[in-house]
Amino acid sequence: DIQMTQSPSTLSASVGDRVTITCRASQSISSWLAWYQQKPGKAPKLLIYKASSLESGVPSRFSGSGSGTEFTLAISSLQPDDFATYYCQQYNSYSLTFGGGTKVEIK
């Protein structure tokens, strides 16, 4: 199975900060990558698919980039609603895998 490694595991930031989260794949996954946001006690919510395509209804402050083995999720100006845990997911192989998650905390 393809391993997905996210960094950092925890990120402390303030409202208005620009934050970036990195996801690395153990082998090339082209652009077959999605990003999700999850709040405590809730199901994940799709933010980005195909590495850089913004899901309908997701604020434009979220953006995704990368291809191959290295990907980035960026939040241009962190809002109070953005404090959550973020996961990447590869869909390059039939056995899907998720990253370990990055928790974005209030500084």
List residues near another protein by CB under 8 A: 1, 32, 34, 36, 42-46, 49, 55, 87, 89, 91-101
Q: How far is the CB of 76 from another protein (least distance, A)?
A: 22
Output the six-digit token pair for 104: 């974005």
Q: Which is nearer to another protein, 16 or 42 (CB)?
A: 42
Query: Considering beta carbons, is residue 16 or 41 the nearer one to another protein?
Result: 41
Taking the C-alpha atoms of 91, 87, 44 and 19 in order, what is their torsion angle to the nearest 10 degrees? -130
CA angle (39, 65, 16) in 5-degree steps? 55
